[in-house]
A and B are shown apart, each in its own frame.
Chain A
């Protein structure tokens, strides 16, 4: 399985942008890049996903490197409710829902 590498933790100030990096140097051409986050005492929730182009939605933006070996999740204005563990996951087109979660990045937001 292609693997992802993320920093264990990051800290941000409230209302400032946050850039969460993810390295996936062994990504294959058909792997989608997904981001999920897990708030305390909850199941993971979907944030955003992309294949090659940068993506925006109401929660965040996803910037994908041209060689697709890394990506960055961008939270434009962090709030206290964004404090969570963020997981970067590669989803092959043909592997069903057998996902491999790494350790994720624990984001702490300071008021």
Chain B
């Protein structure tokens, strides 16, 4: 079956602009979570959506937002970009129900954002 698809794979923006990243989860998966990966901070949780509702949120400023559509596809948006937002943004999906501890995350290849 198709994996998690993230678009675009690479993009370059300038400070002050905004960006929207898209994630299509595995078919049937209802939970989508987003992570930011930088060389300095490693992998950090941004937020999770389940059935169009934000279920968990990490410690990021309000410039970072997301949403999930009825078909489980998700988008994340970063407004007023800063140089420090340059990172690999990863999306992961799971079925989202049942014992979370046993659920396996399937990650996409990520969207690499460069802010100039």
Interface size class of A (residues with CB under 8 A): 20 to 34
Is B107's CB under 8 angstroms from A44's CB? yes
The docked-state distance in angstroms from the alpha carbon of A99 to that of B92 is 11
Q: 0/1 per residue, B80-116, Cβ < 8 Å to A?
A: 0000000000101010100111111111111000000
B8 contacts chain A at the CB level, 8 A cutoff: no
Interface residues on chain B, number (Cβ under 8 Å): 29
Name the interface residues of B21-38: CB closer than 8 Å to any CB of A. 31, 33, 35
* Chain-B contact segment, one of A61-69, A73-81, A89-97: A89-97
In the complex, what residues of A have CB within 8 A of residue B33's CB? 96-99
Is A43's CB under 8 angstroms from B108's CB? yes
Binding site for B on A (CB under 8 A): 30-32, 34, 36, 42-46, 49, 51, 87, 91-104
